[in-house]
Amino acid sequence: MDPLFLLLHYLRKADKEGKFQPLDQVVLDDTFPNCILLLRLPDLEKLLQHVTEEKEVDKKKYYKYSKEKTIKWLGKKVQQTVSALKTNNVNVSARVQATAFFSGDPFSSDKEEDYVCYAHGLISDYIPKELSDDLAKYLKLPEPSVPLPSPPSKKVKVSDEPIEAKEDYTKFNRKDLKTEKKNSKMTAAQKALAKVDKSGMKSIDSFFATKNKKKIEKI
């Protein structure tokens, strides 16, 4: 990996101050103190020319991040990646389609565009998204698809008013209800007896009443 990708992180961070600074004040990291080893890279000054503006004061050099230079340098990196893919006969068309980079539009028959899209994706793994988006515009790549918003779900309106019953369920035959409760307490024998046709039959009370009347007459 090109070490300039690592330096970009510190250069962009220092650019928030918007001024030229010596490189030893730019490449600082409490979490990763060994980052100062980047300052020992061979031909460091030549590398920085690709992504920074430079000033020299009293024989000391100061640097400031340049977005314009960086985009051009990244564009060259994309073209180098495309050349490497072609040299190694890497088929990228299927991979570009699999990533669903476009919004369902038909892919260009020009395979060069597929190579550029794929190379851009590889380079984007090493740079922030904002810089990746700027690079895509510089390369004139189609914009990625934007998912359509899902329609709002229909919510059932709940009313605070009490719900009125359509029928009056209190209009039951109370006589039938009492009969049902009474029958529920009867035994099976009693229920069977209740179903017998009692027409022409004397009740048990009348039978005992007759016997008692005969006893009284004897006395």
- Please report, as a single letter, which amino acid is at residue 4: L
Three-class secondary structure of residue 52 per DSSP: strand
* Predicted model pTM: 0.59
CB atoms within 10 A of CB 11: 22
- Give the pLDDT band (50/70/90) at residue 193: low
Per-residue pLDDT, averaged over 117-131, amounts to 93
For residue 151 the two structure tokens come to 């329609």
Rounded Cα distance, 82 and 115, in Å: 6
Per the model's pLDDT, the better-predicted residue between 57 and 219 turns out to be 57
Res 178 pLDDT > 70? no
For residue 105 the two structure tokens come to 């539009």
For residue 210 the two structure tokens come to 């007759």
Average pLDDT of the chain, as a whole number: 75
Res 156 pLDDT > 90? no
SS3 content of the chain, % helix, strand, coil (to 5): 55, 5, 40
Contact status, residue 15 vs residue 65, Cβ threshold 8 Å: yes
Contact status, residue 140 vs residue 113, Cβ threshold 8 Å: no
Per-residue pLDDT, averaged over 188-208, amounts to 56
DSSP classification of residue 115: H
CB atoms within 10 A of CB 116: 23
Contact status, residue 44 vs residue 29, Cβ threshold 8 Å: no
Contact status, residue 65 vs residue 51, Cβ threshold 8 Å: yes
- Map tokens 């024998």 to a residue: 189
Instruction: Dump pLDDT digits (tens) for 27-77.
Output: 988 888 898 899 898 889 899 999 999 998 988 999 999 999 999 999 999
For residue 198 the two structure tokens come to 């009692």
pLDDT of 48 reads 93
pLDDT of 120 reads 95
- Give the pLDDT band (50/70/90) at residue 204: low
Dihedral sign from CA coordinates of 132, 138, 141, 144: positive
Rg, C-alpha atoms of the chain: 47
Per-residue pLDDT, averaged over 108-129, amounts to 85
Instruction: Dump pLDDT digits (tens) for 95-106.
Output: 665 554 444 455
Q: To which H or E segment does residue 68 belong?
A: helix 67-87
Closest Cα to residue 74, out of 142, 14, 111, 126? 126
- Give the pLDDT band (50/70/90) at residue 93: confident
Res 143 pLDDT > 90? no
Per the model's pLDDT, the better-predicted residue between 200 and 35 turns out to be 35
pLDDT of 121 reads 93
pLDDT of 216 reads 46
